[in-house]
Amino acid sequence: MTISPLGPAATTVDFVDGHTRVFAIIGHPVEQVRSPQAITYELRRRGHNAILLPFDVAPNAFDDVFQQLLAIQNLDGLIITVPHKMRARDLCIRVGPRADISGSASVIAKTADNQWVGELFDGMGCIAAIRNRGVTFAGKRVALLGVGGAGAGIAVELARQTPADIHICDPDGDKVARVMARLSSRFPAQSFTAGMPPLDRIDILINASPVGMLDPTQMPIEASRFPPHLVVMDVITDPAPTRLLRTAEDSGCVAIYGREMFDSQIAGACDFLLSSRAVAAKDIRFDHHVSVNRSG
C-alpha cells in the first residue's frame, strides 16, 4: 500500500481504483468470513485488478439484492455463505453438477450475457482438506453433522469417496430425508443412515452445521472426550479452534480446521469467477479444481 506524502486530503491506496473489478461475499452474518482477504490476495497474485468485499444481507432481503446486483457493471461474481446457499442455487440460470445434486451453490459468477451461473465448492474443499492430512475414506465410517448448504455439498463429495457408511445428522428431519433421497438416487450403492451413531462406531466426524460459530461455548454434539482414533473436522473458520476442535485435540484426535477446507477451494473458486465473465451462460464449462497436498 502506498500512502501519499501530501497530507490527509491527498492520501491514497494503490490496490483499488476506477478500473477495479469487484466481487463480494454475501452472508448473514459476515464478521467471521475469510474470503475478503484470501480471495483478494489470490486475484491480485494472478495479476488482476480486483477486490472482494463482504456484504451482510438478511434472508428476507436476499432475493431482491441478488437480482439488483446484476445492474452493477463492475461486479463480476459472488461467494455465497450461510444462510443463502440453497436460495442462491435456485436463482441461477445454470448450475454445475455439484450444485445440482446438493441443491446449493457457494460461488456465483456473472456471465457475458449478464446471467448468474453457480457451482458448489464446499464439498470438494472439505474432502481435499481431509486428504491433505493423509486421511483416506475407503472402508471408513463417516458422520456428517448438518445438511444445510455446505453440508449437502459435503455429503455429495463424501458419497463420491465411497466410504463404508455415511451417517447424516441434522435437527431438521425433513431436510435429512430430502438430502438422503437425492443422494440415494445418485449413489445407489452407497450406504446412508439418518442419525448419529455412538462415537466409537465412526472414524471421521465432520461438523458442517453453524453450531459453535456465533457462540464459541457451544458444540454440535455433547461429549467431553472423543475416542483418539477419531478424525474430527469443523468447517467453521472463526473462531479457531472451535470448542469441537479443542475437545478433539485434547482427546488426541486429528483435528482439521475450517481454514484448511477454505484454503483448498480458493483456486477453483477463482478459476470459476474469472473465466465465466468471458462467455455466455449457455457456454459455461464447469471445470474447476481444488488444491490437494497443500499445506494447511
How many C-alpha atoms does 67 have within 13 Å on its Cβ side? 5
Give the strands of the sheet with 204-207, arranged side by side: 192-194, 165-169, 141-145, 204-207, 231-234, 254-256
Q: What is the pLDDT of residue 8?
A: 53
DSSP 8-state assignment for residue 5:
T
Of 200, 206, 231, the C-alpha closest to 220 is: 206
Q: What is the pLDDT of residues 188-239, one digit of tens each?
A: 999 999 999 999 999 999 999 999 998 999 999 999 999 999 999 999 998 9
Number of Cβ within a 10 Å radius of residue 34: 16
Q: What is the pLDDT of residue 47?
A: 96
Binning pLDDT at 50, 70 and 90, where does residue 2 land?
Answer: low
Q: What is the pLDDT of residue 119?
A: 95
Q: Is the separation of the CB atoms in 153 and 127 below 8 Å? A: no
What rounded mean pLDDT belongs to the chain? 91
Strand 75-80 relative to strand 107-110, pairing: antiparallel
Binning pLDDT at 50, 70 and 90, where does residue 67 land?
Answer: confident
Q: Tell me the C-alpha distance between 213 and 172, whole Å.
A: 19
End-to-end Cα separation, the chain, in angstroms: 27
E strands within 83-236?
A: 94-95, 107-110, 116-119, 141-145, 165-169, 192-194, 204-207, 231-234
Q: Tell me the C-alpha distance between 255 and 236, whole Å.
A: 12
Q: Tell me the C-alpha distance between 91 and 63, whole Å.
A: 8
Residue 237: left if φ>0, alpha if ψ -120 to 50, beta else—which one? alpha
Which domains does the chain show, CATH number per domain? 8-121+262-283 (3.40.50.10860), 123-259 (3.40.50.720)
Global confidence as pTM:
0.83
**Amino acid, single-letter form, for residue 20:** T
- SS3 of 107-141: the string is EEEECCCCCEEEECCHHHHHHHHHHHCCCCCCCCE
Question: How many residues can be counted in the chain?
Answer: 296
Position of cell 443412515? 193
Over pLDDT 90: what percentage of the chain?
82
Percent helix, strand, coil in the chain, to 5, is: 35, 20, 45
